[in-house]
Amino acid sequence: MTLPAIEGRALSRTYGGFRALDGVDLKVARGEVRGIIGPNGAGKSTLMDVLTGRAASRGGTVLLGGRDISALAPRARQRAGLARSFQKTNVFLDLTVGEQIRLAGRCATLDNGEEVLVALGLAEIAHRPAADISYGDRRRLDLALALVGRPQVLLLDEPAAGLTVEESLAMADLLKDLARRWHVTVLLVEHDMEVVFGICDRITVLHLGRLLAEGTPAEIRSDPRVISAYLGTAA
Amino acid sequence: MTSPATLTATAPARPARAPGSVLALVVLGTGCLLPFAGASPLLLSLLVQAIIGAMLATGVGFLVRQNGMVSFGHALFFGLGGYVLGVPMAHGLLPPEMAVLLALLVPALLAFLLGLVITRIPGVAFSMLSLACAQTFYEVVLKVRTLANGDDGMSVTFPARLFGLDVGLLQDPRSMYLICWVLLAAVLVGLWLFTRSPYGLLTLAIRSNEERARFIGYETVVPRAAVYALSAGVAGLAGVLATFYNGFISPDMMHWTLSGSALVMAVIGGTRAVWGPALGAVVFFFFKEIVGDATEHWPAVIGITLIVVTLCAPAGLSGLLARLFARRAA
Ligand SMILES: Nc1ncnc2c1ncn2[C@@H]1O[C@H](COP(=O)(O)OP(=O)(O)OP(=O)(O)O)[C@@H](O)[C@H]1O
Ligand SMILES: [Mg+2]
């Protein structure tokens, strides 16, 4: 088997004695779209934070394409090909859309800023400050910032949060399309089950900071533990 | 950037910019004519002090604009420019030209090194640290009397020529006014170009959202320290000019009240525009002169004015002018 695009071994994180993430193992193959689901507080965002170095891991190893990146700062992990978007929109409000995409492009080995602007339908509002654009546009800008440079692995924390049903389905189609075209490995945290089951190759379920189940959408849908812990209540 | 929507939307910004640069040239030109239009040496001398204040305020305001940080201690760099120039000059420690160069470099250099540590600290804590650093240096120049006579200060005499130029030009109100005016313009243009540069954009991005800047792959501490250094360098230049003009250095140059006034000037002028703090300084200076003649309670009047300005025009006088201009152009 070839090396996984990204791998986490025994990832843990505590917040003042509380185990937000507790010994989670994760292996995602190249080109795979992996869904991460679980109830509120399950540790999904914490997993993203530990993988990208936003939160220091308290134990565990992160491997990107087989290379141990556990000791690297977020910036260095980004440069190594690991990009992310955020659950709470995290863009540069004082800069125009175009300026921030250009800025991201300058830092990347491959500057595909223009391509990303067009792909995400942001070209028309490139001249506008991010503070003045709609919430939906800001969500797409957050995603766009992560896509500049064509990362090998893309971590998306609820990219469709707060979007309308049509918007989130459009976002899902877009993601699937981009992942295929650019051969990006995607880890997608999402509460919208229609989106997750629609575009993910495999799904990981977290519960109380631990790994509850992992499998194909069909396996997850029929897993009794998942149904009782999550799907039963979310559906 | 090629879509028609983008082009039409950016078009209206164009006509507004052209009058901006024309206006800047008119202001610069008018200022240069002042000494030849019968302005008295007294007025010119006042203007020299005002422009030096404007330069200090420009440094403080630039830090706010580009780094989002409020310094309560920029007098440190102003005073440092003065002391690094004056002390070796008076004690004959260095070749005079060397002292001038050092005086221009040391404030920026010190700020860069300090900045690597203290610009990581956000908000009020940074302001307090900048104040603490300034007060430390203030205590040193106050207590170490062998340096420059402690709180008495020290007069500094310069050689007749430096770098082949007549130093007398720096002490005559007419010529010094012109030199300061042109230098201020050069500083403003330089800083404005910086804000337009890719590096300037990066520093704005870091001010806007430092975490995201890291997550798109940028190192953020050095750019922050670089902006701090630049703003300190401008303050240091102001201190050097003040020392040349007054021929005197004293701990007052590093006192927190000077840092405070510079901040007030920057707030009155507004920091969104690079030239805002300079405008604020000139207004502050003349306001102080006029009100100071009328009442000894001028600080109270300034305080009330500050409150009114921050309430009515949060973006300062420059913000107000920019708004008026935008309305005219529309
Ligand atoms: N910075 C923090 N300080 C303290 N506790 C935290 C912090 N971040 C997360 N937690 C806690 O860790 C647990 C996991 O949080 P996390 O944000 O990873 O959950 P999540 O699965 O992303 O939930 P959601 O679906 O609501 O986004 C929660 O109980 C949360 O309260
Ligand atoms: Mg979350």
The distance of B211 to chain A (nearest Cα, Å) reads: 8
* Interchain CB distance below 8 Å, B216 and A103: yes
pLDDT at residue B3, as a whole number = 40
What is the token pair recorded at B127? 């302001």
Chain A contacts of B6, Cβ < 8 Å?
123-124, 126-127
The distance of B228 to chain A (nearest Cα, Å) reads: 20
The distance of B260 to chain A (nearest Cα, Å) reads: 27
- A2-16, A113-127, B242-256, B305-319: the lowest-pLDDT one: B305-319
* Ligand 1 close to Cβ of residue A87 (< 6 A): yes
- Residue B236 in this model has a pLDDT that exceeds 60: yes
* Ligand 1 close to Cβ of residue A88 (< 6 A): no
* Ligand 1 close to Cβ of residue A17 (< 6 A): no
Grouping H, G, I as helix, E, B as strand and the rest as coil, residue B32 is: helix
Query: Tens digit of pLDDT for each residue in B56-80?
Result: 999 999 999 999 999 999 999 999 9
Question: How confident is the model over B124-137, as a mean pLDDT?
Answer: 94
- Residue B15 in this model has a pLDDT that exceeds 60: no
The β-bridge partners of A13 are A21
pLDDT bin (cut points 50, 70, 90) of residue B140 is very high
Residues 6+ apart with CB under 8 A from A21: A11, A12, A13, A43, A46, A47, A50, A209
- Residue B9 in this model has a pLDDT that exceeds 50: no
> Other C-beta atoms within 10 Å of B108: how many?
24
pLDDT bin (cut points 50, 70, 90) of residue B13 is very low
The β-bridge partners of A28 are A6
Query: Tens digit of pLDDT for each residue in A101-144?
Result: 999 999 888 888 999 999 888 999 999 999 999 998 999 999 99
- Residue B310 in this model has a pLDDT that exceeds 90: no
- Select from A51, A87, A89, A100 the residue whose CB has the most chain B CBs within 10 Å, as the one to mutate to test that interface: A100
Interface membership of B293 toward A (CB under 8 Å):
no
Give percent of chain A above pLDDT 90. Answer: 65
* Ligand 1 close to Cβ of residue A234 (< 6 A): no
Nearest Cβ partner of B201 from A90, A103, A108?
A103
- Select from B210, B212, B221, B222 the residue whose CB has the most chain A CBs within 10 Å, as the one to mutate to test that interface: B212
pLDDT at residue A233, as a whole number = 54
pLDDT at residue B17, as a whole number = 53
Q: Which domains does chain A have, with CATH numbers?
A: 1-81+152-235 (3.40.50.300), 90-150 (no CATH)
Interface membership of B198 toward A (CB under 8 Å):
yes
Query: Tens digit of pLDDT for each residue in B164-207?
Result: 889 999 999 999 999 999 999 999 999 999 999 999 999 999 99
> How many A×B Cβ pairs under 8 Å?
79
Cα B2 to Cα B13: distance, rounded to the nearest angstrom: 17
* Ligand 1 close to Cβ of residue A43 (< 6 A): yes
pLDDT at residue A1, as a whole number = 58
pLDDT bin (cut points 50, 70, 90) of residue A160 is confident
pLDDT at residue B330, as a whole number = 64
Whole-structure pTM value: 0.89
Residue of A46, A156, A189 best suited for mutating to test ligand 1, as the one with most atoms within 8 Å of CB: A46
Question: Which secondary structure element, helix H or strand E, spans residue A144, and what is its range?
Answer: helix A135-147
Average pLDDT of chain B is 89
Can you say whether the dihedral through the CA atoms of A137, A140, A141, A142 is positive or negative?
A: positive
Per DSSP, the residues of B181-242 read HHHHHHHHHHHHHHHHSHHHHHHHHHHH-HHHHHHTT---HHHHHHHHHHHHHHHHHHHHHH
pLDDT at residue B18, as a whole number = 61
What residues of chain A have any CB closer than 8 angstroms to a CB in chain B?
52, 54, 73-75, 78-79, 83-84, 86, 90-95, 98-100, 102-104, 106-108, 114, 123-124, 126-128, 145, 148-149
Nearest Cβ partner of A127 from B6, B207, B211?
B6
* Interchain CB distance below 8 Å, A108 and B217: yes
The distance of A176 to chain B (nearest Cα, Å) reads: 22
Give percent of chain A above pLDDT 70. Answer: 97
Q: How far away, in angstroms, is A51 Cα from ligand 1 center? A: 15
Q: In the sheet where A153-157 sits, what is the strand order? A: A82-84, A153-157, A185-189, A33-37, A202-207, A210-215
Query: Tens digit of pLDDT for each residue in B258-281?
Result: 999 999 999 999 999 999 999 999
ipTM for the complex shown: 0.89
- Select from B14, B210, B215 the residue whose CB has the most chain A CBs within 10 Å, as the one to mutate to test that interface: B215
How many Cα atoms are found within 13 Å in the side-chain-facing hemisphere of A144?
Answer: 31
User: Which amino acid type is present at position B271?
Assistant: T
* Interchain CB distance below 8 Å, A107 and B217: yes
Chain A contacts of B215, Cβ < 8 Å?
52, 54, 74-75, 78, 83-84, 90, 145
- Residue B8 in this model has a pLDDT that exceeds 80: no
